[in-house]
Structures are given as C-alpha cells and as structure tokens.
C-alpha cells in the first residue's frame, strides 16, 4: 500500500524534557483508533528516520517487514532481524535489505557503534527486559544515532496494566509485558540515550472475530469478566455483529544515543530546595569532623615537637656526662677522705703501742 496518498499525520509533539512529556494515556491521544489499518505509523517512521543521512539501519524483530519496506528507499542499507525463520520479511526482496533469522532477541549480532538507526515496531512487549534491550540498542548505535520504538505501552495504573497484559498474553503466546512510558524513560536514560520524544501517542483498535480459534476464545474470556472501570478505559464493548472490540494505548518513542560521559542527569523544577536541603545535611558531618580535627594536634605541630626534642638531645647528653663526672669526683674525694681517716687511726694506734712499750 502506497503512503503517498494518505493524509498528513498530526504535527509531532514539541520536544520537552522526557518526564514533562509523560502523557496521560487516556484523553491525550490523536484519536486514531484505526491508525494501524491505515499504516499511518509507517509514514511517521519514515519522517523520523528518512532524510537524516542513514547509512546503516537495523530493524529488530522485523515480523512481516512492513516498516523496513517503507524505509528502504530512504536509507543506504537495512538489516532485518527475527528469531523465527517462519516469518519472512516482505522487505527482504528489496536490493538494499539483508534478512537474518534464528536470532535471540534482543541480542544483536553487530559490533559496537555499527548503525545510524535502530527500529523496533510492535515487538518490545515480547522482550523480557526493557533495560537489557535499551543497553543493546545503545551498544550498536553510533554516537548521535537514533532509536525508534513503536509499540503498546502500559498505563501507569496497576489494574489497567494487569488487564492489558492478560489480554495481550491471550492474543499472543510470545507476549511478555507491556512497559509503562515511565519505565522506558528510565531504561533509555540509564542505557545512555538522551533527547527522548513521544511524537505520537495513539489508540489502536483490536477486534476479536466471532467463532475464532483458541486465541479468540481466550480473549473473549478476558473481556467478558472485565470490570466497569476497565471497560470504560479501554472502550471494551461487544459490537452488533457479536465481535468484541477494545482499544489499546500505543506510542512512538524516539531517542538519541549519546556517549555516557556526556550524559547529564536532568534536574527537575521544584526540587532545587530539596536538593539544597540534602546538600546542607550532607555538609553537617563534614563541619563536625573539621571541629574535631581542630582539637587534635596538627601534623606540623607534632613534627615541630619532634624536631625540638632532637635539638635538645645533644645538650641533655652533655649534661648527663657532666653530672656523671661530678658524681665520680665526689666518690674519689670520699675515698681519699676515708683513706686519710684510716691512716690517722693507724698512727694513733701506733702511738699507743709505743707508749705501752716504754712503760
């Protein structure tokens, strides 16, 4: 189906910080409930990726290859990837498209900084980890390369998200989980993406045919037991012809790969006072440590004291020697005195002996 005669799509959203762009999934859509039937999303993909000097593109989990077929005339080369060989990309017949199968998604068989564009259309809900996928997309993209994701996105409400995953599992056995836009924002920013945009947020209408197979019967079972709030949110209703119908929220997410060293954490408005308070609280222990440090002797003072002791040591040694010499002199003088005393005592005794002899 040619895209040339389709009406122009609604204008893209003005780029804003990712958290500010986070839309309320109900009531802020383009109202394009049959956008998938009109393939208008293919035009959006071409507008986002085409004409940007894309040399190498990668279409992850290509499926039937409609996106690559629409994009092929606008890029030099596309590699389409899929885990199953039973799904043959319709774009593989195009001369600048290479198709690879039997791959474990989302692992990509390319070296780092290989591609200018990574595209994934209606596939990420089949991957087990949004963060692992985001890291792999970032790894193979060149700096400045673009990522385009188009898929079902989960409401922020847990109850609505549970219904979406239950009906999704009934419809597709390979379904794992739809991610909230807030989850994608966190995963992509952590992986090294910046400039997140949501150019298109829309509804896609799903019909469950009457008398369908096992999957249709499972979906009918889920839809029949839904509560009033879920029915109202997803426009769940049974048509006149007996078919069940409901709408699921979809979104296009566009992001740019940047070097991790260049990435700056966004500062949201309204949190400056909180950040200043947290900084002041973190500073208090530092001030206390500085006060304790002032009470303790500084390293310079300790060194100075040691140097002073070293300077006094020679003086002290000399003084000790003097004192030792003085003590020695005193001992020698005492010895002399004792000797004289003893000599005097001997002379006196000799005189007494002589006197006795004369008598």
Q: What percent of the chain has pLDDT over 70?
A: 59
Q: With a cut of 70, say whether residue 22 has pLDDT above it.
A: no
Q: Which tokens is 102 given? A: 């039997």
Range of weakest confidence among 93-97, 164-168, 334-338: 334-338
- Mean pLDDT for the stretch of residues 294-300: 45
Query: Is the pLDDT higher at 268 or at 259?
Result: 259
Q: Which 3 state secondary structure label does DSSP give 179?
A: strand
Q: What is the model's pLDDT at position 86?
A: 63
CB 218 within 8 A of CB 262: no
- Residue 32's contacts (CB-CB under 8 Å, 6 or more residues apart) are 38, 40, 202, 203
Q: What is the model's pLDDT at position 49?
A: 86
- Residue 19's contacts (CB-CB under 8 Å, 6 or more residues apart) are 185, 266, 268
- Mean pLDDT for the stretch of residues 62-84: 88
Query: Is the pLDDT higher at 141 or at 211?
Result: 141
Question: DSSP readout, 130-159?
Answer: HHHHHHHHHHHEEEEEEEEEEEEEE-SSHH
> How many CA atoms are closer than 13 Å to the CA of 160, on its beta-carbon side?
23
Q: With a cut of 70, say whether residue 285 has pLDDT above it.
A: no
Confidence of residue 41 (pLDDT cuts 50, 70, 90): confident
Q: What is the pLDDT of residues 164-196, one digit of tens each?
A: 999 999 999 889 999 999 999 999 999 999 999
CB 137 within 8 A of CB 210: no
- Mean pLDDT for the stretch of residues 117-133: 93
Backbone dihedral angles phi then psi of residue 72, each to the nearest 5 degrees: -50, -40
The CA distance from 60 to 123, in Å, is: 8
Q: With a cut of 80, say whether residue 302 has pLDDT above it.
A: no
Q: Which tokens is 110 given? A: 């390319």
Range of weakest confidence among 119-123, 197-201, 281-285, 324-328: 281-285
CB 82 within 8 A of CB 43: no
């Amino acid at each position: 189906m040619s895209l040339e005669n389709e009406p122009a799509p609604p204008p893209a959203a003005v780029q804003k910080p990712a958290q500010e762009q986070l839309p309320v999934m109900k009531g802020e859509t383009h109202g394009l409930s049959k956008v998938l039937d009109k393939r208008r999303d293919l035009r959006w993909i071409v507008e986002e990726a085409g004409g940007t000097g894309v040399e190498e593109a990668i279409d992850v989990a290509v499926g039937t290859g409609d996106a690559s077929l629409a994009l092929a005339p606008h890029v030099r080369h596309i590699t389409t990837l899929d885990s199953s060989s039973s799904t043959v990309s319709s774009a593989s017949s195009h001369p600048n498209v290479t198709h690879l199968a039997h791959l474990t998604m989302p692992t990509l068989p390319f070296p780092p900084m290989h591609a200018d564009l990574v595209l994934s259309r209606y596939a990420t809900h089949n991957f087990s980890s949004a963060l692992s996928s985001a890291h792999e997309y970032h790894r193979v993209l060149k700096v400045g390369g673009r990522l385009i994701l188009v898929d079902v996105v989960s409401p922020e409400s847990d109850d609505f998200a549970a219904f979406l995953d239950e009906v999704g599992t009934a419809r597709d056995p390979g379904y794992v989980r739809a991610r909230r836009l807030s989850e994608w924002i966190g995963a992509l920013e952590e992986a090294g993406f910046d400039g997140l945009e949501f150019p298109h947020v829309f509804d896609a209408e799903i019909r469950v045919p009457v008398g369908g197979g096992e999957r249709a019967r499972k979906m009918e079972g889920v839809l029949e037991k839904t509560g009033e709030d879920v029915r109202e949110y997803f426009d769940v209703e049974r048509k006149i012809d007996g078919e069940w119908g409901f709408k699921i929220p979809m979104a296009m997410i566009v992001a740019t790969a940047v070097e991790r060293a260049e990435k700056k954490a966004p500062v949201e408005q309204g949190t400056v006072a909180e950040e200043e308070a947290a900084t002041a609280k973190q500073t208090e222990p530092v001030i206390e440590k500085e006060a304790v440090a002032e009470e303790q002797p500084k390293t310079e003072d300790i060194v100075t004291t040691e140097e002073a002791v070293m300077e006094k040591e020679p003086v002290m040694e000399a003084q000790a020697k003097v004192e030792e010499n003085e003590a020695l002199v005193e001992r020698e003088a005492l010895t002399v005195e004792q000797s004289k005393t003893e000599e005097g005592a001997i002379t006196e005794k000799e005189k007494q002996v002589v006197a006795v002899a004369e008598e």
